[in-house]
Amino acid sequence: MTQTSTIEWIAIPAGMLHRGTPEDELDAVAARYADTGVPRSWFEKEAPRSLVHVAAFRIARTPVTVAQWARFADETGRPRPEGASDHPIYGVTWAEAQAYCEWISADAGLAVRLPTENEWERAARGDDAREFPWGDDYRAGLANLIDLGVGATTPVGSFPAGASPFGVLDMAGNVDEWTSTRYAPYPGAPSDVPEVESWAFDPHITRGGAFRHDRDLARCARRHSVYEADLRAVGVGFRLATDGEEQP
């Protein structure tokens, strides 16, 4: 049995992504989340809204778990992970996530990788411009964020009512998720959006927010790099993707 047999793939059809946030809505977005303390400049990185075609791909229904990571750790001589087996692995560097993808690809004969930023947002948002994976309005209890009060990860897939339009779970909360995309402003971004975030610990974009984060990071459009070296405190994990639709 290959390691990929433990992955539940969701086929995401080719389609148009309503990527990002319209520039003329930034003031309203910043006001809506003013209580989180997030400055307007952070939301500016989401602008402008663009229609972007995304080719068909597959994405894992849930993030990589402690149990899945443990097999990788055992075979590659890495320390065994802490935590319950059905919880997401976190505290993982981008390079370690890449190494996992290469390991599982070799085992399965399938090119497994991290999702691109556009793929991640399409899997979360679907065909419309919804603000959260489940719809336009924030609803407490649909994701493991700071307002839930758990203060730690929960088993993957614990919030089925918070699923994306394609049925992908944990796209908001639990662990922040690596993508394969390095930070850069969107084409046509506001002039004060930085070309490079030199202060970032790692420039690759993460998405979705973790158990320690507020609801602003649960938004489908929210994009950011990793700014702290303690990736376990940040709550950074990942999920897998692969090209195309599942073959018979």
Give the integer Cα–Cα distance in Å for 194 and 176. 22
94-108 vs 66-76: helix axis angle to the nearest 10?
80
Residue 4's pLDDT band, with cuts at 50, 70 and 90, is: low
The reported pLDDT for the residue numbered 108 is 78
Asked whether residue 109 carries a pLDDT value surpassing 90, the answer given is no
34-43 own/partner pairs: CB under 8 Å, 24+ apart: 36/214, 36/215, 36/216, 38/214, 38/216, 41/192, 41/193, 42/224, 43/222
3-state helix, strand, coil in the chain (%, to 5): 30, 20, 50
Q: What is the mean pLDDT of the chain?
A: 95
**What average pLDDT score do residues 99-110 get?**
93
The reported pLDDT for the residue numbered 246 is 47
Asked whether residue 2 carries a pLDDT value surpassing 70, the answer given is no
Instruction: Output phi, psi for 225, to 5 deg.
Output: -90, -170
Give the integer Cα–Cα distance in Å for 145 and 159. 11
Q: What is the pLDDT of residues 128-151, one digit of tens each?
A: 999 999 999 999 999 999 999 999
Q: What is the pLDDT of residues 163-173, one digit of tens each?
A: 999 999 999 99
Which of the listed CATH numbers 3.40.800.10, 3.90.1580.10, 3.40.50.2300, 3.10.450.50 matches domain 3-243? 3.90.1580.10
